[in-house]
Chains A and B, each alone.
Chain A
């Protein structure tokens, strides 16, 4: 069974631009969560989607948004990029929300110049 895939793996943007990251969950998984990983803040929860509905959102500004499609694939978007948005963005999928094992993808490394 294929694992969680994220595209692109690496991305370089400049301040003020916007970016869209994509996540394809494991087949049969309906829940997708997004995390931001930085050396200073560690792993921080961004949001979770289940059956195309946002279930929970972390403490991030409104520039961070996401969505989930009917095939459970998810995208997250960051608008008006700032230098501090440089991070590894990780996607995790699970069969359902709640206490289910989450499987992480390799992440998208975003660099904002």
Chain B
């Protein structure tokens, strides 16, 4: 079936450290990927996206890496802050013709002060 899976359910890091959240996707034909952050009581919030013609994209304190050979996606957060504590989802865009997103199961990021 369709799936985008995450390797670890929970990641605990010290404030100020860098965080790396991983994701494996199943559809080798997918060409658009997005990372979302979901805080308690809120809907997912867009963090960063990447197209398959790129292998790296940087935002503010975040970097997404795409390895199409092994169908792997990662989100790197630099200098992790308490406000980064949330559940992070990777999502795979199913088709350029629709808005359908296929989400991974999510990784909980806990930032220790």
Contacts and interface: CB of A to CB of B under 8 A. Distances in A.
Given A4-B43, A106-B41, A100 B99 contact: yes
Interface residues of B, number: 27
A73 B18 CA distance: 41
B95 to A, nearest CB: 8
A98 B98 contact: yes
A45 B101 contact: yes
Interface string B21-57: 0000000000010101000011111100101000000
Contacts of A103: 46
Contacts of B45: 104
Contacts of A45: 94, 100-102
A56 B94 CA distance: 10
B43 A55 contact: no
A26 interface: no
Interface of B: 32, 34, 36, 41-46, 49, 51, 89, 91, 93-106
Interface of A: 4, 31, 33, 35, 42-45, 48, 50, 55-56, 58, 90, 92, 94, 97-107
The 3 closest A-B pairs by CB, nearest first: A104-B43, A43-B103, A56-B98
